[in-house]
Homo-oligomer: A and B are copies of this chain.
Amino acid sequence: MDIGEFREFGKAAVDYIADYFETIRNRPVLPEIKPGYMEDLIPAEAPLEGESWKEVLEDLDRVIMPGITHWQSPNFHAFYPTACSFPGIVGEMLSAGFGCMGLSWIASPAYTELEVLTMNWLGKLIGLPEEFLNCSQGPGGGVIQGSASEVTFIALLAAKEKKVTDLKAQGTSLTEAEIKGKLIAYSSDQSNSSVEKAGLLGSMPMRLLPTDESGVLRATVLANAIKEDREKGLIPCYVVANLGTTPTCAFDSLEELGPICQKEELWLHVDAAYAGTAFVCPEYRYLNNGVEYADSFNFNPHKWMLVNFDCSAMWVKNAKYLVEAFNVERIYLKDQHKGMAPEYRHWQISLGRRFRALKLWFVLRIYGVEGIQKHVRHQIALAKYFEELVSGDDRFEVCSSSMGLICFKLKGDDTLSEKLLENVGKRKMIFCIAGHHNHKFCIRFAVCSRLTERKDVIFAWNEFKEAADEIFEVKNQTPKIIDEVSEKKMNEMRISTRSETMCQEKTK
């Protein structure tokens, strides 16, 4: 493919993405296909001769689109948001176009330096104490990782390194292997699966402690667990506090947990993967009070902050422990700039690095701080509106409401809500998933897409309302919200779903 063809192909791809966003609201959010659907659509072996880019691009509609769950659809309310913005997409494209590998400063100085500076921007933006920033005089700093899973694991390794170093300095009689065999970590039973996984990966048992009825890990629970484990001869090492849990977006209190970690000499890691973006708005920053106790902090601009995946922001108070856990030097990595700029390969799992800072820079500049604040406040307001709608129907109850996430259920037995979610799922018009609140089944409604508007919230609510009507076999007295736009949309979508299904049946 020559440069001229690339210009055509690239621009056709830009139009494909633009067309996709223009039509996304009218696509059923969940695909209709069954596992293995693609096997019949593409050959079993790679083609011997090259094909034209036009053929390949045309196959997106035939092969890929039928199997896409539309995360950017305004009707996607599952999990948490995965960011996708136009500045983010273009940043990703240019990064691919430069095709460099940031494995050291000299391997492309701009890669390291833009990351250093944008991580300062970002840290200031969410009000992190200066000691976490690259621009501070101390050993702290920020780095972009691929995911919160990676970060939780990396922080665990740093915690392990620190504990071994500290105990050795205190003249322990234990060998390094003995120390490592006794280490133990803590988080709450509300933490993301990746927290437990970090324990598995790092060979450090992760105790998932029970939370209170709001999903919060209380100080006494942590303190008791530590005491218990010390009595068993174990060595408490690492705590992961959640600011915005996955099930209900609950917030642990760093002011409560921090002093215990300090006293007991435990590494405190803060996982604010989703909710950390809210700290861009001063009115939510109080939820981060006590962050000065943390050793490491993480949030994902690739969730709520409009930067395309992957962009997971991590800060540490002392990068020494990362570097010591990871540093393996080789002659082919040497350069004369050592020590003058961070060598981020020692802060992460892989040797190679993509130019992730570019998309972060694009998003921060093109949206501006005000643009991001507006986005956060808008999505929280939409969630509140959904909460109002649920509260207005006396068959339902709201279990929790925090940031852009509402958890709710039908009053009565869990099976009713399970049935409700199942029925809504079958219609494939909106996508919500299950959660737990206070040991009870609930439905999570998260405002995810940056395209979601008030009419989409009404649309989603009507889906639940109608499914509830079917379950109870009587219509609720609450009048259905009449919204012309949303009614029209619903009708259009039903027509389009029907005709797509017909098409698929025809082509079989």
List the interface of chain A (C-beta within 8 A of B). 1, 3, 5-7, 9-11, 13-18, 20-22, 30-31, 33, 35-39, 42, 44-53, 55-56, 60, 63-72, 79, 82-90, 92-94, 96-101, 103, 105-111, 113-114, 116-117, 120-122, 124-125, 135, 146-150, 153, 157, 177-178, 180-181, 192-194, 196-197, 200-203, 246-247, 308-310, 325-326, 328-334, 337, 340-341, 349-352, 354, 358, 361-362, 364-371, 433-436, 444
Contact = CB atoms under 8 A, between A and B. Distances in A.
B114 A53 contact: no
Contacts of A92: 92-93, 96
A435 B332 contact: yes
Contacts of A309: 99, 101, 352, 354
Contacts of A135: 44
Given A49-B370, A365-B56, A31 B99 contact: no
A344 B118 CA distance: 32
19 contacts: A6-B90, A7-B14, A9-B90, A10-B90, A13-B94, A35-B109, A36-B341, A49-B369, A55-B365, A56-B362, A56-B366, A65-B110, A67-B114, A68-B110, A89-B97, A194-B328, A246-B330, A247-B332, A349-B349
Q: Which 3 A-B pairs have the closest CB atoms?
A: A84-B99, A67-B110, A17-B97
Listed residue (A45, A90, A196, A333) with the most chain B CB atoms within 10 angstroms of its CB: A90
Contacts of A106: 30, 69
A331 B84 contact: no
Contacts of A444: 332
Q: What is the copy number of this chain in the assembly?
A: 2
Contact of A93 (B10, B70, B108, B367): B10
A110 B64 contact: yes
A281 to B, nearest CB: 13
A251 to B, nearest CB: 18
Contacts of A13: 90, 93-94, 97
A469 to B, nearest CB: 24
Nearest to A95: B92
Contacts of A83: 99
Nearest to A13: B90
A188 to B, nearest CB: 13
Contact of A203 (B103, B121, B203): B203
Contacts of A14: 6-7, 10-11, 14, 93
A366 B86 contact: no
Nearest to A94: B13
A284 to B, nearest CB: 17
A93 B101 contact: no
Nearest to A181: B177
B46 A150 contact: no
B48 A194 contact: no
A346 B120 CA distance: 34
A341 B147 CA distance: 23
B354 A310 contact: yes
Given A46-B365, A48-B368, 20 more contacts: A3-B22, A6-B86, A10-B14, A10-B89, A10-B93, A14-B14, A16-B94, A33-B109, A35-B113, A35-B337, A38-B114, A46-B368, A46-B369, A47-B368, A63-B110, A67-B113, A72-B98, A72-B100, A84-B98, A247-B332
A362 to B, nearest CB: 6
B358 A64 contact: yes
A352 B303 CA distance: 11
A146 B350 contact: yes
Contacts of A341: 35-36
A96 B196 CA distance: 29
A99 B3 CA distance: 27
A401 B354 CA distance: 30
Contacts of A85: 1
A46 B313 CA distance: 16
Contacts of A51: 365-366, 368
Nearest to A8: B14
B113 A37 contact: yes
